[in-house]
A and B are shown apart, each in its own frame.
Chain A
Amino acid sequence: MNLLLMITISFLVGAGVYLTLSRDLLRVILGLAILGVAANFVVFYAGNPATDLSAIIAQGEQMLPAGAANPLPQVLVLTAIVIGFALISFALVLMVAIVREPSSEKYQANQVGHASPSSRDIDALALNEPTKTEADNPNKPAILESK
């Protein structure tokens, strides 16, 4: 269990850092979201989830037996998830607002030709799409295409 958690955390951190280092705004935010999940797992790990001892204080005792599972980190993680969710939602809305601004090419690494009115609506979310694929497939939402 511990090993599994560690592998998960390191994988998430790797993915998060990779995405965060991108020049692409959407990827940066997704990277931060994934890093947030990794941080939540770290806190979760603090509660000793691998143990079989349940979090019950024996009668007459004052505290949990050593090595027992600790339920408090789960509460902490819940708080952190809520806050992280709010922040990421805010950031996504902000990103849409920035991308919709005229002349914001510098956030869109590979996109050229930003002057047409259609690129100012939500399709502009496909930050990495070269404009010509948009012309090839006018009906397909560009965000679903892989590069």
Chain B
Amino acid sequence: MTALIFALLIPLSFALGSGFVAQKWLRPFNLVGSSLLLVTATVLLFDVVANQSASESVSVAFGGWPSPIAISFLADGFSALMVLSIALVFFSVLVFAKQGLTDEGVLSERIGFILLQGVIASAIAVSLTQDLFNLYVWFELMLIGVLGLFVLNQRRQNKEAAMKYFSLNMLGTLLMLSAIGLIYGTTGHLNYEVLKHFALDENLSPQLEIYTGLLVLALLMKIGAFPLFLWLPATYHALPLPLLALIGGLLTKVTAFVLLRLSGLSLELDSLSSLLGWIAVLTMLSGVIGAAYHWDLRRILAFHIISQVGFLLLGIALLSHQAAVGTMLFLIHNVLVKTNLFLIVGVIWWVTKHYDLRQIGGLYPTNSLLAILFLINAMALVGVPPTSGFWGKFLLLNEAFHQEFYIWAIAALMTGLLTLYSMSKIWLEAFWKPAVSDSVNLNQAIPMHLTLPIIGLTLVVLLIGFYPELLIQFLQGTESGFDRDSITGFEGGAHD
């Protein structure tokens, strides 16, 4: 329980502290903060594991109010793993960003660290909270933080990207707020667990279904689902690279995690599931096809975010415990691999000073370590067996075939094939092709602070790939909320 509170308090207090520490201590200070967070997240996971055997949950209700009234935070297997992957990715990106978060000088550096810690705190809170309105507030804080990060570099493209990001996400947020208001108006509750009972109530459910649809629409907008994804590749490439790795790796996944949680623990998506599945298919395909068209490394990866989001949506649409386990595994894998690929793009930029594949070449003979790291992560993204990507996809596709959604599963397989196409495009162009120009010296030794985080994340990816049983069993033992028998009666009346 203490770890649960500290997982939130640490990033918040380090955000505050970053406003006051001396300039030269700024990065060490934040590194300490993120490693403390990593330790706390690990402790939290062990707490959850210890409590799972005693079938208790790790939760805290703030303000001393009784359970459905208080705003409560809950860590179970899913959210503890989410917090741990957020902390891990944050730490890796901070190690990577030794040259600074941006190239704009001192002031923006300080603001950048404050905002970054704030975004991490919000992402953690979003994964832990059990209250719909609280969820909305943390989403808004995340939005404000990310907007600030967008304009750290004050170039024109940053401002434009921030404006696009603002207007589309604001629209999603407003939809979310209205949906939450309407849900509260119908049920008189905001707590996830209580809402589940209302959602299963025959008398209320038609009304609640509409409001749930509104909430799902808002989340789909923030996830970047078809056809509302265009803001994503139009904005992400404006971010300076260490921040791009973090935000591209985390934000859409955190939102997908919220949707997974809500669909299991709180709301009924039964009537939406087939629609959600088709949206997922279209999202997957439009993501990979967009990626196939582009030559800018950052844009290719940004489009791949969309197709991975499609996979996650497919898992959510299947609405079963097995699918939830698969989705969660795929989500964790995706956070790690996507961040890692963006970091590798950062190293490629560091060596060649280009993001455009047509200007890059000849990296394999000179930087074979980088090439191998890229290969492992690209294979993981495609889903080739001894990597973490395989297991999540395997569980999802297995469940899709099991539930006889053949077209969805085949579309998912097609997506994998097309992912392979654009990953091999990067491989052929950046690594195998002979060097394009002689002006860049490809033989510089890459500094340790750039390679170490990539190697670390790659090891985690391989570890999950080689020993998935532990994780799968742990997740299968966790209550995802799709198992209807587990829902016990709720005492207390509806307010109308």
Interface residues of A (CB under 8 A from B): 20, 25, 28-29, 32, 35-36, 38-40, 42-48, 63-64, 66-67, 70, 72-73, 76, 79-80, 83, 86-87, 90-91, 94-95, 97-98, 101, 104
Complex Cα gap A50–B166 (Å): 35
The one of A48, A86, A98 that contacts B144, using a Cβ cutoff of 8 Å: A86
Residues of A within 8 A of B160 (CB): 98
Residues of B within 8 A of A47 (CB): 185
The reply to whether B170 and A43 form a contact with Cβ atoms under 8 Å apart is no
The one of B133, B159, B163, B181 that contacts A45, using a Cβ cutoff of 8 Å: B181
Complex Cα gap A19–B216 (Å): 25
Q: A32-B171, A38-B178, A83-B144 are in contact. List 16 more A-B contacts (CB 8 A).
A: A28-B167, A42-B177, A43-B181, A46-B182, A48-B185, A66-B496, A76-B181, A76-B184, A83-B140, A87-B144, A87-B147, A90-B147, A91-B163, A91-B167, A95-B163, A98-B156
The reply to whether B495 and A64 form a contact with Cβ atoms under 8 Å apart is yes
Q: Which of B162-193 contact A (CB under 8 A)?
A: 162-163, 166-167, 170-171, 174-175, 177-178, 180-182, 184-185, 188
Residues of A within 8 A of B184 (CB): 43, 46, 72-73, 76
The reply to whether B137 and A98 form a contact with Cβ atoms under 8 Å apart is no
Smallest CB separation, A84 vs chain B (Å): 8
Residues of A within 8 A of B156 (CB): 98, 101, 104
Against A, the Cβ 8 Å flags (1 = close, 0 = not) of B126-166 are: 00000001001100100110010001001010011011001
- The yes or no answer to B447 lying at the interface (CB within 8 A) is no
The reply to whether A20 and B171 form a contact with Cβ atoms under 8 Å apart is yes
Complex Cα gap A46–B178 (Å): 10
Residues of A within 8 A of B182 (CB): 42, 46
Interface residues of B (CB under 8 A from A): 133, 136-137, 140, 143-144, 147, 151, 154, 156, 159-160, 162-163, 166-167, 170-171, 174-175, 177-178, 180-182, 184-185, 188, 492-493, 495-496
Complex Cα gap A137–B181 (Å): 48
User: Given A39-B177, A43-B184, A94–B162 Cβ distance below 8 Å?
Assistant: yes
The reply to whether A94 and B171 form a contact with Cβ atoms under 8 Å apart is no
Smallest CB separation, A27 vs chain B (Å): 11
Residues of A within 8 A of B496 (CB): 66-67
The reply to whether A32 and B174 form a contact with Cβ atoms under 8 Å apart is yes
Instruction: Please list 19 pairs of residues, one from A and one from B, whose beta carbons are closer than 8 Å in the complex, sorted by A's number.
Output: A25-B163, A36-B174, A39-B177, A43-B180, A44-B181, A46-B184, A48-B185, A66-B496, A72-B184, A73-B185, A79-B133, A90-B144, A91-B163, A91-B170, A94-B151, A94-B159, A97-B151, A97-B154, A98-B156
Residues of B within 8 A of A44 (CB): 181
The one of B133, B143, B180 that contacts A87, using a Cβ cutoff of 8 Å: B143
Smallest CB separation, B144 vs chain A (Å): 7
Smallest CB separation, B196 vs chain A (Å): 19
The reply to whether A46 and B163 form a contact with Cβ atoms under 8 Å apart is no
The reply to whether A42 and B167 form a contact with Cβ atoms under 8 Å apart is no
The one of B147, B181, B492 that contacts A39, using a Cβ cutoff of 8 Å: B181
Complex Cα gap A95–B178 (Å): 26
Complex Cα gap A8–B159 (Å): 34
The reply to whether A87 and B170 form a contact with Cβ atoms under 8 Å apart is yes
The one of B137, B144, B171, B181 that contacts A46, using a Cβ cutoff of 8 Å: B181
Complex Cα gap A90–B162 (Å): 10
The reply to whether A63 and B495 form a contact with Cβ atoms under 8 Å apart is yes
Residues of A within 8 A of B188 (CB): 70
Complex Cα gap A63–B175 (Å): 30
